Amino acid sequence: MTSYLIGLVGTGIGPSLSPALHEREADELGLRYLYRRLDLDVLRLPIGEVLAAARTAGFDGLNVTHPVKQQVLPYLDEVAPDAAALGAVNTVVFREGVATGHNTDATGFARNLIQGLPDAEMDTVVLLGAGGAGAAVAHALLSLGAGRLIVHDVDSARAGTLVSALLRRFGDDRALPGSLDDIRVADGLVHATPTGMAAYPGSPVPAESLRPGMWVADIVYRPLETTLLKQARERGCRTLHGGGMVVFQAADSFRLFTGAEPDADRMLRHFEALEGKPSHVR
């Protein structure tokens, strides 16, 4: 039996469903697969040292999450073209002594949006968050045909850096920095910051900014019912939680780690069994 040792690196990862999703799918495929949490809050080590230790310990791969999707880049031997374009990595594969960075957040978000809100209007979309996850979401939205993407981040310099990268890749008029006020005229809003997670409760958006007819997507999935999504539904918005994204990015990471083809629909059913709720909620 082929065996794999995989880890998840980040902060606040205790509630993550990634171990259960990966290990269950491996069982279905007849693979021995151990998925371990490497919590930076517990280890109190910088990402470079954790990466080096995982390589030495014989890990086959790592998923990388908040807040080190961008910080991990200098410690990799290679970066796949898509991840390099995003400037963020959420999957590291160790093979023959080489650490290669990939990004499955963009494909995971895109597939979740297509399945969860297939008819979403995207003439103008506001993105909150320009970190590693936000970069992936931004590229996914523009690749899916968003006409104009307005990026807001509490760190205006970070928002500007992301917008510059988007303009280089997608054209001069597709992205611009903005503010929370832009939500009032947007077709849709995507939230890509840690706010709303169990460890970071609350909403980044004034409820009065949300209006009926717009759609709101959140990449947070623990909890599925974030304050933002609750506010959005109460004000008549269509909503999409982050459950589908985490499943689809997990499936893409699983494929990179093992070379085996995961059954994403089966993984969605497993997610629903773990959560007791549908993987897509509108």
First to last CA, the chain: 41
78 three-state secondary structure: strand
Asked if residues 245 and 221 have their Cβ atoms less than 8 Å apart, the reply is yes
Instruction: Give Cα separations from 186 to 98, 125, 135 (angstroms).
Output: 43, 5, 19
Closest of 98, 70, 68, 63 to residue 84, by C-alpha: 70
The span from the CA of 126 to the CA of 187, in Å, is 8
Residue 69 a catalytic site member: yes
Phi/psi-derived region of residue 10, left when phi > 0, alpha when psi is between -120 and 50, beta in every other case: left
Q: Which of these is catalytic: 24, 66, 69, 111?
A: 69
The span from the CA of 229 to the CA of 184, in Å, is 16
Give the active site residues: 69
